[in-house]
């Protein structure tokens, strides 16, 4: 840091110091400075407790507890000249402890702080002023997975900043503030710099973290769906193979469907399951979209006869905007993600795919002539 001398048109270096050199202490000084002017951390915060120890079965205390303008709890941990190795783990514990605090508990904690500080103020009224609301019911506090962590220290070890950046990738909102005292004669100055994430790139990093988290959640959902699909098809194949040999050489699929060829390339029987239905289809799905539409159109005049033979009112879907066409029948209000529905879905699929194979299978020789 440098002091600008406008008269001499030059700069003069200001001496960087350590808190220990100047006789400052963590609780008596650094913590009090932040508590009295929390906006020094770059945003409006409402300090609601100091040395908070309201954790069950533990004597641990977090330095400062605050609310931000979105109603999120902010855990603030202060260290003097060195962050130490365990500050992130310590703050994460406190965040987990605070995650279960209710709206009323937060107000009680704040009221206790006001009484202890002898400020003679009402916690609920202060909260209304802070959020600029008329009614307490309008305010939402401590939403799930909304807790934030602010780490304040004179110096951060590499393992601390590395861990903080890694947590940001998982959308856990951590900030690191480097505080540095300076001395210029009898004057003392304090510089507070946000180093994680860098202030200029904070918005970008948060957006990237949210995207990464969304990708991870999606990937985990896909893994879970694959697992459920395989379990369902394994049960389906076990039961189906006891009644017929239509799927005797099949393995449990990772997908939501099984395809059985009708003896002509691109034509087949498809059984499909989802979160809302189970379906059986006879599908025209050759590489040639025009041929699929032609085959569908040649089959459609037999609609009444086919439905009479199969004993069902089918859905005839030409799918003009897609390559394939299909004739289908489905069971609604069942879900592959609800194991209690599996027996009903499996019985439906076994019963109706058999009907499709018999009725449409009898027309395969005629379809072959059309293709030729």
Residue 154 falls inside a structural domain: yes
Helix (H) or strand (E) holding 216: helix 202-241
pTM here? 0.62
Helix (H) or strand (E) holding 94: helix 87-98
| Domain shared by 192 and 242, yes or no | no
| Domain shared by 167 and 85, yes or no | yes
What pLDDT is attached to residue 58?
76
Domain span at residue 14? Answer: 2-197
Residue 19 has pLDDT above 70, yes or no: yes
Task: Give yes or no for a contact between 34 and 46, defined as CB atoms under 8 angstroms apart.
Answer: no
What pLDDT is attached to residue 174?
93
What pLDDT is attached to residue 200?
61
Confidence tier at 208 by pLDDT (50, 70, 90): low
Task: Give yes or no for a contact between 152 and 34, defined as CB atoms under 8 angstroms apart.
Answer: yes
In whole numbers, what is the pLDDT of the chain averaged over residues?
91
Residue 273 falls inside a structural domain: yes
Residue 354 falls inside a structural domain: yes
Question: Encoding tokens for residue 288?
Answer: 């040639």
Question: Encoding tokens for residue 7?
Answer: 């008269």
What pLDDT is attached to residue 56?
72
| Domain shared by 190 and 229, yes or no | no
Using DSSP, state whether 37 is helix, strand or coil: coil
Total length of the chain = 372
| Domain shared by 180 and 233, yes or no | no
Percent of the chain with pLDDT over 90: 74
Number of domains the chain is built from: 2
Per the listing, tokens 């703050």 go with 91
What pLDDT is attached to residue 55?
80
What pLDDT is attached to residue 205?
64
Question: Encoding tokens for residue 255?
Answer: 């997908």
Residue 202 has pLDDT above 70, yes or no: no
| Domain shared by 79 and 157, yes or no | yes
Residue 251 has pLDDT above 90, yes or no: yes
What pLDDT is attached to residue 17?
93
- Residue-wise pLDDT tens digits, 333-365: 999 999 999 999 999 999 999 999 999 999 988
């Amino acid at each position: 840091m440098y002091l600008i001398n406008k008269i001499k048109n030059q700069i003069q270096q200001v001496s960087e110091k350590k808190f220990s050199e100047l006789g400052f202490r963590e609780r008596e000084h650094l913590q009090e400075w932040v508590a009295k002017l929390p906006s020094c951390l770059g945003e409006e915060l409402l300090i609601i407790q100091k040395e908070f120890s309201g954790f069950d079965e533990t004597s641990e205390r977090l330095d400062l507890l605050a609310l931000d303008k979105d109603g999120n709890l902010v855990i603030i941990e202060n260290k003097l000249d060195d962050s130490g190795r365990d500050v992130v783990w310590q703050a994460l514990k406190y965040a987990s402890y605070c995650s279960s605090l209710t709206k009323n508990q937060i107000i009680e904690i704040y009221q206790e702080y006001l009484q202890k500080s002898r400020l003679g103020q009402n916690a609920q009224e202060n909260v209304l002023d802070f959020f600029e609301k008329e009614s307490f019911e309008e305010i939402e506090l401590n939403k799930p997975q909304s807790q934030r962590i602010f780490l304040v220290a004179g110096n951060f070890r590499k393992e601390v900043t590395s861990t903080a950046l890694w947590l940001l990738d998982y959308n856990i909102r951590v900030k690191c503030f480097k505080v540095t005292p300076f001395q210029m004669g009898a004057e003392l100055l304090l510089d507070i710099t946000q180093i994680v994430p860098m202030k200029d790139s904070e918005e970008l990093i948060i957006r990237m973290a949210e995207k990464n988290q969304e990708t991870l959640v999606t990937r985990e959902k896909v893994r879970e769906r694959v697992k459920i699909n395989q379990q369902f098809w394994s049960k389906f194949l076990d039961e189906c193979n006891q009644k017929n040999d239509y799927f005797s050489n099949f393995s449990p699929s990772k997908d939501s469907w099984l395809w059985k060829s009708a003896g002509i390339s691109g034509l087949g029987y498809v059984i499909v399951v989802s979160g809302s239905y189970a379906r059986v289809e006879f599908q025209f799905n050759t590489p040639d979209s025009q041929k699929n539409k032609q085959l569908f159109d040649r089959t459609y005049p037999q609609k009444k006869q086919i439905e009479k033979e199969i004993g069902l009112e089918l859905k005839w879907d030409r799918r003009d905007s897609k390559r394939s066409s299909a004739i289908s029948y489905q069971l609604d209000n069942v879900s592959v993600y609800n194991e209690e529905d599996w027996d009903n879905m499996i019985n439906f699929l076994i019963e109706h795919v058999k009907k499709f194979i018999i009725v449409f299978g009898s027309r395969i020789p005629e379809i072959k002539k059309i293709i030729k």
